[in-house]
Amino acid sequence: MDRVEQQALPGVDVGRAAVLSPSALARYRLCPRLYRFLHVDGLWRMSRIGAGQSFGTSIHAALREFFRLPVSARSRDGLLELFRRFWVREGYGSKEERAREKARGLEVLRGWYDRSDTTVVPYATEAALQAVYGDVVLKGRLDRIDPGEGSTVVIVDYKTAKRPGSQNAADSDLALTVYASLAERRLGRPVDRLVLDYVAAGTQVVTERPPEVLDERMADVLASARALRDDTEFAPRTGPWCKGCDLLSRCPEGQAEVAASGARLD
């Protein structure tokens, strides 16, 4: 009897496709060895939870739950209580720092509530989307998807940095490009605009991905994803970022970069 081979289902059976998030791809672009350490060798346990990460997680959780409430149930006091409930205690260097950052988070959210449209009813909050692009699968978690003009949608991405990024940075942001593509593929709706909501800095930066721009940027994203999939060396890419790398002790090239940088400063 002839052997019958399994047939792939287009868009369902992804075979040996690389499954990537924007953050993983950004790490690979920054330093292939860092990507290998975290995503291949599984050294996440050696990557410290920092104060900034814990602060950001707490803010994101509070806003997620806030927008899942009916509009009539939303209030500033309620938002602050959500922040207290989802406060992440880990990652701070001392009790004093933890208390100071918690107080700052409450003040940040008071300011955000006063300047924001809190009556928006999103299509989704923390929406996990995934799509197949030939031999690459991209996935992303979108903080908020709002109704736009007509049949369009607006993607909102919360940022908790103390200073906002530039317009140029937003226009070239890899994650926003992937989010726009995922939303259009999975929801079947065009993305009107992408909003970086700098919750702590008190401002927003708005960008767009017109069809021709989105196609061009996604071609670049997919080229990087395929390079990652085919990479067997994961050679280090050294630079100023090496100094703050939690896995520097495992990377001789990174240690040499830091030493050379210190010598140049001397």
> For residue 38, what is the domain's CATH number?
3.90.320.10
Where in the sequence is the domain holding 96, given as residue range(s)? 48-115
Could you say which DSSP state residue 39 is in? I
Is residue 258, in this structure, part of any structural domain at all?
no
Please tell me the total count of domains within the chain: 2
Are 134 and 26 part of one and the same domain?
A: yes
Residues 60 and 84 in one domain: yes
Instruction: Using the 3D structure, point to which of 81, 97, 115 is the last residue of a domain.
Output: 115
Q: Which mean pLDDT values do the consecutive 10-residue runs of the chain (266 residues) have? A: 44 57 95 93 81 96 98 98 97 96 98 98 96 94 97 97 97 97 95 98 98 97 94 95 93 94 65
Using CA atoms, how far apart are residues 156 and 147, in angstroms rounded to an integer?
Answer: 11
Q: Is the same domain home to 74 and 87?
A: yes
The sign of the torsion formed by the CA atoms of 139, 140, 146, 150 equals negative
Tell the burial category of 228 from Cβ atoms under 10 Å away from its Cβ (0-12, 13-18, 19+): buried
| Residues paired with residue 125 on neighbouring β-strands, in sequence order | 144
- Based on the fold, state whether residues 204 and 154 are members of the same structural domain: yes
* Residue 203 included in any domain: yes
What was the pLDDT predicted at 216?
Answer: 97
What pTM value is reported for the model? 0.88
* CA dist., res. 153 & res. 144, Å (int): 10
pLDDT of residue 223: 96
Residue 7: predicted pLDDT = 45
Tens-place pLDDT, residues 80-102: 999 999 999 999 999 999 999 99
